[in-house]
Amino acid sequence: MMKNAVEIRALSVERGGHAVLDQLDLTIGGGVTGLLGPSGCGKSTLMRCLVGVQKVAGGTVLVFGRPAGSRALREKVGYVTQAASVYDDLTVAENLRFFARVLGVGPTEVDRVVEAVDLAAQRDQVVGRLSGGQRSRASLAVALLGTPELLVLDEPTVGLDPVLRVDLWALFHRLADAGTAVLVSSHVMDEAERCDRLLLMREGRVIADGTPAEIKEKVGADDIESAFLAIVHEDAS
Ligand SMILES: Nc1ncnc2c1ncn2[C@@H]1O[C@H](COP(=O)(O)OP(=O)(O)OP(=O)(O)O)[C@@H](O)[C@H]1O
């Protein structure tokens, strides 16, 4: 098991005058870690903290031992937001060559990441004319440039068909097997089953943390969805 990729201590964040994260303590290691929880519970905010783009009210976030957002982490951390981060008027390959230059990684990386996200047939197409799923994969390809050691993916499979979702999850596991710590947020419960570790958030707190099997066993549920409903209900009462 790798040393912790992320160490969070007493992290507090306020947004719009409300406490979104309150004294959160959390470590994230290797494998694929799933971040689940109701809309608005703070998943995106937590991810923004990991990449250093969120103003925090208190606490520390260390990524590979350095403060989140440090320059030295630029090549080590890949981040895909919910909004596509590629340029619509450039082709897939042009986007990737541009971001490769920004990151200072070699042009051969472009071919590798295009293959990884299965966009070889679309590499010379303008992103604005790709399907939603293809565009998401183009954003993911950007995040894979330079082989990041931590990949932070905010709902990467939203709007994708089931076949593509299965393919992407296989890719996440291949990346994790090769040593990248992968943090993925999701609303989709069957995706939760595919994670090595699950974090269930509610109102800015982690209310369950374990493997899918451990979480189901904890409340005697047969599936993750029932387990989460039981845990949320327990937490609310
Ligand atoms: N730009 C913003 N300004 C003020 N408050 C915000 C802003 N963005 C989010 N919030 C608030 O922060 C809280 C957490 O939002 P966040 O986006 O982290 O939730 P989430 O769990 O990722 O939700 P979803 O699953 O719907 O994406 C919410 O209560 C939301 O209203």
Q: What is the pLDDT of residues 117-155, one digit of tens each?
A: 889 999 999 999 998 888 888 998 999 998 899 999 998
The answer to whether residues 71 and 174 belong to one domain is: yes
The answer to whether residues 174 and 71 belong to one domain is: yes
- Number of folded domains in the chain? 2
Instruction: Write the CB contacts of 3 (distance below 8 Å, at least 6 apart in sequence).
Output: 29
Q: What is the CA radius of gyration of the chain?
A: 18
Provide residues with CB under 6 Å of ligand 1.
Answer: 15-16, 20, 37, 39-45
CATH of the domain at 184: 3.40.50.300
The answer to whether residues 175 and 189 belong to one domain is: yes
**Using CA positions, which residue lies closest to atom 17 of ligand 1?**
44
The answer to whether residues 234 and 153 belong to one domain is: yes
Query: What DSSP letter does each residue of 3-44 carry, written as one string?
Result: PPSEEEEEEEEEETTEEEEEEEEEEE-SSEEEEE-STTSSHH
Provide the pLDDT for residue 97. 95
The answer to whether residues 98 and 181 belong to one domain is: no
Does residue 139 belong to any structural domain of this protein? yes
pLDDT tens for 189-217 read 778 888 999 999 999 999 999 999 999 99
| ipTM (interface predicted TM) | 0.93
- Determine the distance separating the centroid of ligand 1 and the alpha carbon of 98, expressed in angstroms: 30
Does residue 25 belong to any structural domain of this protein? no
The answer to whether residues 71 and 177 belong to one domain is: yes
Mean pLDDT, rounded, for 97-111: 89
Q: Which helix (H) or strand (E) holds 193?
A: none
Provide the pLDDT for residue 59. 97
Does residue 227 belong to any structural domain of this protein? yes
210 DSSP assignment: E
**Residue 107 — very low, low, confident or very high, per pLDDT cuts 50/70/90?**
confident
Tell me which residue range forms the domain holding 114: 84-147
**Using CA positions, which residue lies closest to atom 10 of ligand 1?**
15
Provide the pLDDT for residue 1. 46
The answer to whether residues 97 and 48 belong to one domain is: no
Portion of the chain with pLDDT greater than 90, in percent: 62
Q: Best of 13, 45, 185, 202 to mutate for ligand 1, by most ligand atoms within 8 A of CB? A: 45
Provide the pLDDT for residue 171. 87
Q: Best of 12, 36, 44, 153 to mutate for ligand 1, by most ligand atoms within 8 A of CB? A: 44
pLDDT tens for 20-78 read 999 999 999 999 999 998 888 999 999 999 999 999 999 999 999 999 999 989 889 99
The answer to whether residues 156 and 217 belong to one domain is: yes
Domain boundary among 98, 126, 147: 147
The answer to whether residues 157 and 135 belong to one domain is: no
The answer to whether residues 236 and 183 belong to one domain is: yes
Does residue 236 belong to any structural domain of this protein? yes
Alpha-carbon gap, residue 83 to 45, rounded angstroms: 14
160 DSSP assignment: -
The answer to whether residues 214 and 170 belong to one domain is: yes
Mean pLDDT, rounded, for 159-187: 88
The answer to whether residues 134 and 157 belong to one domain is: no
Mean pLDDT, rounded, for 145-170: 86
- Determine the distance separating the centroid of ligand 1 and the alpha carbon of 125, expressed in angstroms: 34
Alpha-carbon gap, residue 213 to 27, rounded angstroms: 20
Does residue 44 belong to any structural domain of this protein? yes
The pairing of strands 77-80 and 150-154 is parallel
- Determine the distance separating the centroid of ligand 1 and the alpha carbon of 114, expressed in angstroms: 32
Q: Which residues of 45-64 are buried (b: 16+ CB within 10 A; e: fewer)?
A: bbbbbbbbebebeebebbbb
**Residue 232 — very low, low, confident or very high, per pLDDT cuts 50/70/90?**
confident
2 DSSP assignment: P
